[in-house]
Amino acid sequence: MSSEKMVEFKDFNKINDFEWEIPLTYRRDMQVPVRVFASEEIVRQSLKDKSIIQAVNSSSLPGLLNYVSVMPDVHQGYGFPIGGVAATDVQSGVISPGGIGYDINCGVRLLSSNISLGEAESEIETLSNLLFQEVPTGVGRGGTVSITKKDFARICETGSRWALKNGFASEMDVDLTESRGFLEGADFDCVSERAIERGIKQAGSLGSGNHFLEVDVVEEIFDTRAAEAMGLMVGNLALQIHCGSRGFGHQICSDFVREFQTSVRKYNIVLPDRELVCAPLQSEEGQRYLAAMRCAANFAFCNRQLLTHRARAVFERVFEKMAPDFHLRMVYDLAHNIGKIETHTLNGKQTKVCVHRKGATRAFGPHHEEIPSRYHLIGQPVLIPGSMGTASWVLNGTDTGMEKTFGSCCHGAGRLMSRTQAKKSVRGGDLLRELRDDGILVKAGSMSGLAEEAPQAYKDVDLVIESAVGAGLARKVARLKPVVVIKG
């Protein structure tokens, strides 16, 4: 068995134009097949890095159900690919920190406004300057909220509810967050002191890397009823916030990836990649990881809420005189990197599973009990940010997605170019000017960091969306165009 053997296009069985399968016969250690939901063009593109072989490696985990799903924005990660979904049986399966990712509950939220770009145009520069000034971004910046260890523990155990209780959120904000901004079963005692040290000073901070705050304009609407339910109107401004659990989540993942190196030996689990390490979900260490991971997920929900509070204050300051009834309302907030215990229909039976989503969003179809009432008829909003110079998309979940991918969809455009390669081929200053010429104001702490996140470093988000929609995982609701980008 070799984890290094690369997958070739001929190894796939075509199911339809947007579904391709690597069968169990491909490698002896596979427990389930791998299924890629993408166009032929994207499948061929994904063979250029290790993302598909990483999906094959992931399919060796014990207790997997159905198949490992690969989203159209897939790219190489470590252990699991980014853009992978794997569900394990809650009784006989495992939980793998690498299947959830280092930035636990890295996610995105979208807020809609009732002011148009036309009305706001003269204030956009002021808005961008104030957002950059007021929202802590970049390497080593602390958060906006000074908290005690007791507060931090409460945030970890109650998520966005802490923000609500302390005046940083409205009931509507919390109600329109995935899992209402709170995963039950978080246990602060399962978190290391080092993780606490890293997280406690970062509440209400954006961080660096691919995290951003972006003001968009709603460019096009594809589903009027769904857009109306989400408060999205053509020409109006919207705000996206993309960030996660900062150093806290990374430390929790690092701690358990290290601890589980021993667990796999203890439970006699043989894996082709050390980043895939896992423990039986019902084991003591599996339960401890789950409880610690939930702390980071709750922290991330609360962190995005604290950033929302800060950004809202800036928007209100800029627009309140111009539009006295101005508001910035939550559309939805969802996680990209998370492990959830969910109930899905498998072979006609309701089955409890542990869904690992790494670089993938939950995308539940209409009528699911987990969806807020305002979205019951249309399905859960699915938010797909593009790269900084390109469109972002709002979709909604479907019944087909529930059947095929445990109610999951892609999470972004997906990287195409390495950071090193992007820095070599793009100059941050030039990019800044080009985007400005296209009507996009960018504020960034570092020019090299900006070059790493250049649009050309990512796949064409529109092609990714065509694949997700073509595969039936989601339906189009609206397309957004960036106006202001604040990069960490």
Contact positions vs other proteins (CB under 8 A): 49, 51, 75-79, 82, 102-103, 139-140, 194, 197-198, 207-209, 247, 250-251, 253-254, 257-258, 261-262, 273-275, 415-421, 446, 448-449
b vs e for 90-107, b when ≥16 Cβ sit within 10 Å of the residue's Cβ? beebbbbbbbbbbbbbbb
Closest separation between CB of residue 42 and other proteins, Å?
15
Q: How far apart are alpha carbons 166 and 162 in whole angstroms?
A: 6
- What's 108's DSSP letter? E
The position carrying tokens 């609500």 is 164
- Which is closer to other proteins, CB of 103 or CB of 173? 103
80-89/68-78 β-pairing = antiparallel
- Whichever of 229 and 277 has its CB closer to other proteins, that residue is 277
DSSP lists the bridge partners of residue 474 as 397
C-beta closer to other proteins: residue 381 or 449: 449
Q: What is the β-pairing status of strands 68-78 and 474-487?
A: unpaired
Rank residues 114 and 446 by Cβ distance to other proteins and give the closer one.
Answer: 446
Cα(283)–Cα(275) distance, integer angstroms: 19
Shortest Cβ 160–other proteins spacing (Å): 23
Paired strand residues for 392: 480
What sign results for the dihedral spanned by CA atoms 171, 175, 178, 181? positive
Give least dist CB 186 to other proteins, A: 21
Q: How far is the CB of 254 from other proteins (least distance, A)?
A: 5
User: Does 376 participate in catalysis according to the annotation?
Assistant: no
Q: Nearer to other proteins by C-beta: 139 or 270?
A: 139
Which CB, 174 or 454, lies closer to other proteins?
Answer: 454
Instruction: Give the whole-angstrom CA distance, residue 449 versus residue 431.
Output: 11
Count of C-beta atoms within a 10 Å radius of residue 429: 11
Rounded to the nearest whole angstrom, what is the least distance from the CB of residue 113 to other proteins in the complex?
A: 31
Detail the DSSP E strand segments found in 401-454. 408-410, 441-444
Catalytic residue (one of 75, 242, 309, 411): 411
H-helix segments, 320-437: 399-405, 419-425, 428-437
**Residue 363 in tokens:** 């995308």
Paired tokens of 419: 């950071």
* Smallest distance from other proteins to CB 438, Å: 25
Structure token pair of residue 187:
């246990």
Q: How far is the CB of 451 from other proteins (least distance, A)?
A: 12
CB closer to other proteins, 292 vs 417: 417
Pairing outcome for strands 94-95 and 68-78: unpaired
Q: Which residue has the tokens 């094959």?
A: 56
φ, ψ at 212 (rounded to 5°): -155, 165
Under 8 Å between Cβ of 185 and 297: no
Residue type, 144: T
Give the residue numbers annotated as catalytic, written as ranges: 411
